[in-house]
Amino acid sequence: MEEKIKRTRRTAEEARRVILDAAERRLADLGPEGIRLQDIASDVGISHPTILHHFESREGLVLALTERTREQLRQDLFAAFSGPSARDADIHQIMARVFEILSKRGHARLTGWMILSGAISQTPDRGMLRDLTDLIHPKRAEEFRLRGLPVPSREDTLFVVMLGAVTAFGDGLFGPVVRQAAGITDEVKTMEQFRDWFAELLRSRMIPPAQ
């Protein structure tokens, strides 16, 4: 006697989404070895050939995940910097949000893995930080201009942005190990203190000097 098996049939788009979600979770949690078709499939509750059906190959899955992660990151970052709530938020809040995006959501780890595995170089680059700099620099220049101070170069703003990026990514991936090597006992508390300290450092570079 044969069992009638219930199939849940999703739209192709929905199927791709849940598969990518599962792959993302596995990769962020379990590291480089975590992206096995069978495991991902069983997480979703489907058979592994279904993944191949939607993504052609394992590599196709990886590339799709890379692209989606990049795009999400771009959107999250721009939301943090140009959303309505960012209008009068100070840099502490914004940096807190950036760090949160990169560490809590595991984006730093994901990106690190993608860089190491070479997937990221096969995916289109959209000049995220260039655009971010172009968003920030005019405002910053204006602040200086209003006070009659020498306007900092765009390159200076770019370097501040790059430092923010490198540090936020670096903290997301290397942070825990660095804090351990620093002999820190209260991870969570120190993490927040460090981020605040760093945000203050960035702020003192960004704003015009006190008159």
Partner DNA sequence: CACACTACTATCAAAATTGTAGATAGTCAA
Partner DNA sequence: TTGACTATCTACAATTTTGATAGTAGTGTG
Answer with the entry of a copy of itself, DNA, none that 118 interacts with (C-beta below 5 to 8 A by kind): a copy of itself
Answer with the entry of DNA, a copy of itself, none that 79 interacts with (C-beta below 5 to 8 A by kind): none
DSSP 149: P
Tokens of 188: 């969570």
Residue from 21, 22, 27, 54 touching DNA (CB under 7 A): that is 54
Residue 92 and residue 98: Cα distance in Å, rounded? Answer: 10
| C-alpha radius of gyration, the chain, whole number | 21
Rounded to a whole number of angstroms, the minimum distance from the CB of residue 38 to a copy of itself is: 18
Query: Residue ranges of the alpha helices (H) in 118-153?
Result: 128-146
Residue from 30, 32, 59, 174 touching DNA (CB under 7 A): that is 59
CB atoms within 10 A of CB 36: 14
Rounded to a whole number of angstroms, the minimum distance from the CB of residue 208 to a copy of itself is: 17
Nearer to DNA, 4 or 87 (CB): 4
Rounded to a whole number of angstroms, the minimum distance from the CB of residue 150 to a copy of itself is: 17
Site for DNA contains 53 (CB under 7 A) = yes
Residue 90's identity, in one-letter code, is D
Name the region of 33 (left: φ>0; alpha: ψ -120 to 50; beta: rest). alpha
Nearer to DNA, 52 or 96 (CB): 52
Rounded to a whole number of angstroms, the minimum distance from the CB of residue 192 to a copy of itself is: 12
Tokens of 78: 């721009």
Nearer to DNA, 23 or 108 (CB): 23
CB atoms within 10 A of CB 6: 5
Site for DNA contains 161 (CB under 7 A) = no
What number of chain residues touch DNA (CB under 7 A)? 28
Tokens of 180: 């351990």
86 phi, psi to nearest 5 deg: -80, -10
Rounded to a whole number of angstroms, the minimum distance from the CB of residue 174 to a copy of itself is: 4
Which spans of this chain sit near DNA (rule: CB under 7 A)? 4-12, 15, 35-39, 41, 45-50, 52-54, 57-59
